[in-house]
């Protein structure tokens, strides 16, 4: 498979997942590119081509973590240049004004990862554990606390409105 074919087939869906995890389109693009370049270089040695989706997800999650580490380093410089929340950008359009989307942004990276894999990628706890390389009990524990954190933020927002 050529690199272009790989991009055409997988990039769009990978970008959506990376965007939901990172909430930053530039970082999401970089994560997708890194993922697809790695995948293409290793393609001939992938023994079970039918499992490429799961493998790409694993590589993507790692690429998202790399992006997050880099963005933390960049954040101070960006904060000093960009007035927060004052500019309408594609990011705000994609995320929309949905209160769930806003609450998702307040979750930790670990919580966001398991929630996206569960409720967007529709994976079982066992499959999420295989993707992230963690025990199934840890997946359930993170889902439990992630959902509670989400609910606490939503409750707080709804009280603020009433």
Partner 1 sequence: MTRDDLEGRLSKSLKVQADRAEAYFLESNALARIRRPPRLSQGDRARRTLFLAAAVVVAAVGLGLWTGSLLPRSHLGIGPSMPPMTAVTPTPANERSPTVTPTHSVAVTRSPTPSGSAEDDVGPGTMVEISSGELVAYTDPNAQSAVVDRLAEGRVVWVSSDRESNGERWLRIQFASFAWDGADLFAWVSAESRLRSVELSCPDEAAVASLGAMSAQEHLNCFGASELTIVGYAAQRSAPGSPYTGTPEWIAQPSSVVLLGAESQQADTGLVALHADPATGVTIPTGTWVEVVGHFDDSAARTCHREPLGDGVSAETSAEQVHHCRQRFVVSEVRVVDAPTFPTPMPDAGRRIPMG
Q: Output 75 or 124, the one with its CB closest to partner 1.
A: 124
The token duo for 58 is 């694993």
How far is 142 from 114, CA to CA, in rounded Å? 7
Task: Choose among 92, 123, 91, 128: nearest CA to 110.
Answer: 128
Site for partner 1 in 131-150 (CB under 8 A): 131-138, 140-145, 147-150
Site for partner 1 in 95-114 (CB under 8 A): 95-96, 98, 100-101, 104, 108-111
> Which residues contact residue 126 at a Cβ distance below 8 angstroms, ignoring those fewer than 6 apart?
136, 139
Q: Output 2 or 80, the one with its CB closest to partner 1.
A: 2
Q: Select the residue interacting with partner 1 from 1, 78, 82, 156 (CB under 8 A).
A: 156
Q: Does 50 bind partner 1 (CB under 8 A)?
A: no
Site for partner 1 in 28-47 (CB under 8 A): 28-30, 32-34, 36-38, 41-42, 44-46
The token duo for 78 is 């960006």
Judged by DSSP in three states, 86 sits in coil
Site for partner 1 in 63-92 (CB under 8 A): 65, 68-69, 90
Q: Select the residue interacting with partner 1 from 49, 83, 85, 160 (CB under 8 A).
A: 160
Question: For 88, which DSSP code?
Answer: -
The token duo for 8 is 């055409």
């Amino acid at each position: 498979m050529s690199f272009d074919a790989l991009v055409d087939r997988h990039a769009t869906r990978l970008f959506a997942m990376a965007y939901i995890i990172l909430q930053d389109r530039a970082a999401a693009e970089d994560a997708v590119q890194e993922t697809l370049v790695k995948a293409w270089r290793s393609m001939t040695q992938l023994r079970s081509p039918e499992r490429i989706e799961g493998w790409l997800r694993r590589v993507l999650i790692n690429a998202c973590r790399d992006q997050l580490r880099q963005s933390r380093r960049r954040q101070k410089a960006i904060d000093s240049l960009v007035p927060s929340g004052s500019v309408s950008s594609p990011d705000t359009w994609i995320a929309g004004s949905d209160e769930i989307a806003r609450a998702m942004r307040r979750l930790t990276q670990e919580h966001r990862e398991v929630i996206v894999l569960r409720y967007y990628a529709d994976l079982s706890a066992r499959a999420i554990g295989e993707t992230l390389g963690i025990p199934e009990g840890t997946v359930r524990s993170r889902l439990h606390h992630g959902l509670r954190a989400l609910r606490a933020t939503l409750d707080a927002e709804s009280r603020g409105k009433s």
